Amino acid sequence: MKLQLFPQENAGLDLLSRMAAQGVRGTATLSEALGAEPEEFPRLAEELHALEAETTELHFALMTQMRTSFINPLPREDLYDLSLILLSLMERLDSAAEIVSLYKLTNVSRRAAEQLEVLGRQAELSVAAMRTLASLDDLEDYWIEMLRLSKRVERTHRMWLAELIHDHKALSYIRHRDLADQLAAASKELRRLGTYVGNILVRES
């Protein structure tokens, strides 16, 4: 039998899960952009703009749901903070796509693909975690795995920056570093998400 933390009104959790799913779509679109020809960059950047806009709409839908629902699956402040983290994630991915398009970045380091692989995995885990926040089942594993994956991203980011310094002149270095930093920041948002879930588990245990 599942241990339930809160009464069951899971519309808010479904919206959070849908926001996390936008992160999965965003990392896939950004991965496509990194392998595309420069003439495709504007279209793919626009796709990510659209995903970010859809995520914002989901955020506002969650705000409306919280105000109109008598029973919420988590305290309203928790739902709000989790939603803001997922929105920030999409803003980071959107910014990364815009950087690729504006700077017409080509020959991007393989470190970017490594980062996006981990980001996609973090986002996939978060889809399921957001849907099951009303119970304790498996969320401790989620919290721990998000921390492990974020440390992997941090190591890759450091190696990427070291390679950029060695391989690029100043202007090119700045542009590629902008991309590297946005991907690292996206992973930090997902780490924040996992840590917030951990805080909920500790608080309610």
44-88 per-position pLDDT tens digit: 999 999 999 999 999 999 999 888 876 666 788 999 999 999 999
Task: Residue 109: name the closest of 194, 175, 193 by CA.
Answer: 175
The predicted structure's pLDDT at residue 12:
86
Q: For residue 1, name the pLDDT band (cuts at 50, 70, 90).
A: very low
The predicted structure's pLDDT at residue 3:
42
DSSP 38: G
35/3: higher pLDDT:
35
168/15: higher pLDDT:
15
pLDDT average, residue stretch 129-157: 87
Residues 93, 48: contact at Cβ < 8 Å?
A: yes
Q: What sign does the CA torsion over 151, 131, 24, 68 have?
A: negative
Residues 39, 10: contact at Cβ < 8 Å?
A: no
Q: What is the pTM of this model?
A: 0.90
